[in-house]
């Protein structure tokens, strides 16, 4: 899982800061930004989908450890993915301990694939300029 963890750590989004004294730049050609699926595009949700696509079923605690997320953060983002039918959640008990398992759905796999295709195209276009 260390390869997966390394790959997921590079997914963090970055925002550019504009300083007061920075000169305004005009791009050579202006193209519309890609229309990324906003449900998938958020860093933690992308991490959840990627982990489930690569690792199959995972428990709440496995995802929490892998993604270095808090209980609350993981719960909120997993719920968004579940509401979008991108992941399925199964709750059970192991002895007296609650156990929550997640798996990616067919529509979640499709959404992740489309997101990655869009991102690859965006990167290709960005590098060609």
Instruction: Give the pair of three-digit tokens for residue 40.
Output: 């998938």
**Which two tokens mark 23?**
């000169």
Position 1 confidence tier, pLDDT thresholds 50, 70, 90 = low
Cα angle 91-97-103, degrees, rounded to a multiple of 5 = 30
Task: Give pLDDT tens digits for 38-50.
Answer: 999 999 999 999 9
pTM of the predicted structure, to 2 decimals: 0.74
Q: Which residues pair with 90 in a beta bridge?
A: 101
Whether residue 19 lies inside any domain: the answer is no
Count: domains in the chain: 1
Query: What is the extent of the structural domain holding 51?
Result: 35-128
Smallest Cα–Cα separation from 106: which of 88, 79, 83? 88
25 part of a folded domain: no
- CATH code of the domain containing 66: 1.10.10.10
Residue 81 burial by Cβ neighbours in a 10 Å radius (0-12, 13-18, 19+): buried
pLDDT number for residue 42 = 93
11, part of any domain? no
Question: Mean of the per-residue pLDDT values for the chain?
Answer: 82
Q: Do the domain assignments include residue 30?
A: no
Average pLDDT over residues 6-35: 51
């Amino acid at each position: 899982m260390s390869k997966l963890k390394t790959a997921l750590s590079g997914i963090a989004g970055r925002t550019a800061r504009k300083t007061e004294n920075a000169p305004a730049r005009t791009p050579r050609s202006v193209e519309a930004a890609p229309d990324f699926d906003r449900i998938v595009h958020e860093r933690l949700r992308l991490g959840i989908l990627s982990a489930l696509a690569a690792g199959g079923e995972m428990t709440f605690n496995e995802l929490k450890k892998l993604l270095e997320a808090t209980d609350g953060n993981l719960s909120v983002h997993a719920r968004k993915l579940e509401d979008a039918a991108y992941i399925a959640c199964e709750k059970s008990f192991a002895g007296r301990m609650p156990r929550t398992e997640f798996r990616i759905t067919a529509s979640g796999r499709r959404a992740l694939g489309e997101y990655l295709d869009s991102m690859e195209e965006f990167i290709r276009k960005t590098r060609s300029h």
